Structure 1
Amino acid sequence: MNAVQLFLLGRTLMKIGEEAIPGGGVGKRTTSTRSVLIVMLDVYAHPDTTVGEIAVRSGLPQSAVSACVARLRETGSVVTATDPRDRRRTLLRRNPELSDRRAEVASASIDGALSAALGTSDPAELAEVVALLDALAQRLSPEVLARLTPDASDAPAV
Structure 2
Amino acid sequence: MNGVELFLLGRTLMKLGEQAIPTEGLPQYSTSNRAVLIVASDILEHPNSSVGDIAERTSFAQSKVSACVARLREGGAIETTTDPADRRRLLVRPARRISERVARIRSTPITATLEAALGTDDPPRIAEITTALETLAEHLAPEAIARARSGTAHGPGGAPAGAG
Q: Which string of whole-angstrom CA distances, capped at 9 and with x for unpartnered residues, describes residues 85-113 of structure 1?
A: 22111111111011011101111110011
Q: Which string of whole-angstrom CA distances, capped at 9 and with x for unpartnered residues, describes residues 58-95 of structure 1?
A: 11111110110110111111111111222111111111
Gaps of 5+ in 1: 153-158
Partner amino acid, structure 1, of 2:111? D
Q: Which residue of 2 aligns with 1:105?
A: 105
1:46 shift after superposition: 1.7
Larger radius of gyration: 2
Q: How many pairs are equivalent?
A: 152
Q: Which residue of 1 aligns with 2:134?
A: 134
Q: Which string of whole-angstrom CA distances, capped at 9 and with x for unpartnered residues, describes residues 12-51 of structure 1?
A: 1111111001112221111111111111121222222111
Question: Structure 1 pair 133/144, CA: closer, same or farther in 2 (3 Å)?
Answer: same
DSSP 3-state at the match of 1:121: coil
Which structure is higher in strand share? Answer: 2
Q: Which residue of 2 aligns with 1:31?
A: 31
Partner amino acid, structure 1, of 2:60? L
Q: CA RMSD in A?
A: 1.7
CA distance in 2, matches of 1:108, 1:6: 26
Report sequence identity in percent. Answer: 53
Question: Structure 1 pair 86/139, CA: closer, same or farther in 2 (3 Å)?
Answer: closer
Select the structure with the greater relative contact order (CA < 8 A; seq sep ≥ 6): 1
Alignment of 1:5-84 (within 5 A): 5-84=5-84
